[in-house]
């Protein structure tokens, strides 16, 4: 017949075995996570965030953004009289949408309009929405 102490020792030994098994599982999981993180870092190395892409250049009546010599965004305007521009088109390539390229393009054309003393009629739907949402464009907005 076994004593109560021997029964407790058996339970403790059983628990130790269970704990050792859990430790091994956790260590395997940690190793897998580390491997996955390393793979992800290697995959995304050199990628830029959508809002870190491209430098804006003026080209005629447009401002464009290029990445690796490929045009990925543009905003265009056309003169409408002596003191007004019709802001008529904004485009960002689908893979770059969701960042701030369109916002930066709009800010750039607005800055240029201010520098030249021009007013803007936002015909493009994107620009019109932004003009309505942002008071910062009030000074250049030619409302009809």
36 & 63 share domain: no
Same domain, 74 and 127: yes
Q: What's the chain's average pLDDT? A: 87
Domain count of the chain?
2
Residues 54 and 113 reside in one and the same domain: yes
Q: What residue numbers bound the domain in which 39 lies?
A: 1-47
Is the residue at 144 inside a domain?
no
Task: Give a yes or no: residue 89 inside a domain.
Answer: yes
Q: Give the span between the Cα atoms of 103 and 122, in whole angstroms.
A: 14
Assess whether 73 and 126 both reside in one domain. Answer: yes
Q: Same structural domain for residues 23 and 58?
A: no
Q: Is residue 105 domain-resident?
A: yes
pLDDT at 22 over 90: no
62 pLDDT band, cuts 50/70/90, is: very high
What DSSP string describes the chain? ---HHHHHHHHHHHHHHHHHHHHHHHHHHHHHHHHHHHHHHHHHTT---GGG--EEEEETTEEEEEETTEEEEEEEEEE-SSSEEEEEEEEE-GGGTTSSHHHHHHHHHHHHHHHHT-EEEE-SHHHHHHHHH-GGGGGGB---
Q: What is the pLDDT of residues 81-132, one digit of tens each?
A: 999 999 999 999 999 998 899 999 999 999 999 999 999 999 999 999 999 9
Pair 22, 78 in one domain: no
Q: What is the pLDDT of residues 5-14, one digit of tens each?
A: 887 888 887 8
Is a pLDDT exceeding 90 seen at residue 64? yes
Residue at 7 is within a domain: yes
User: Looking at 29, 47, 65, which one is the last position of a domain?
Assistant: 47
């Amino acid at each position: 017949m076994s004593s109560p102490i021997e029964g407790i020792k058996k339970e403790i030994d059983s628990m130790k075995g269970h704990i050792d098994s859990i430790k091994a599982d956790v260590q395997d999981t940690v190793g897998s996570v580390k491997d996955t993180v390393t793979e992800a870092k290697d995959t995304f190395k050199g990628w830029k965030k959508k809002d870190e892409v491209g430098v804006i250049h003026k080209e005629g009546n447009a401002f464009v953004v290029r990445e690796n010599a490929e045009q990925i965004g543009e905003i265009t305007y056309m003169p409408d009289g002596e003191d007004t521009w019709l802001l008529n088109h904004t485009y960002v390539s689908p893979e770059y949408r969701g960042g701030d390229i369109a916002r930066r393009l709009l800010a750039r054309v607005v800055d240029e309009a201010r520098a030249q003393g021009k007013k803007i009629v936002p015909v493009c739907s994107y620009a019109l929405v932004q003009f309505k949402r942002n008071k910062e464009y009030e000074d250049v907005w030619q409302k009809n």
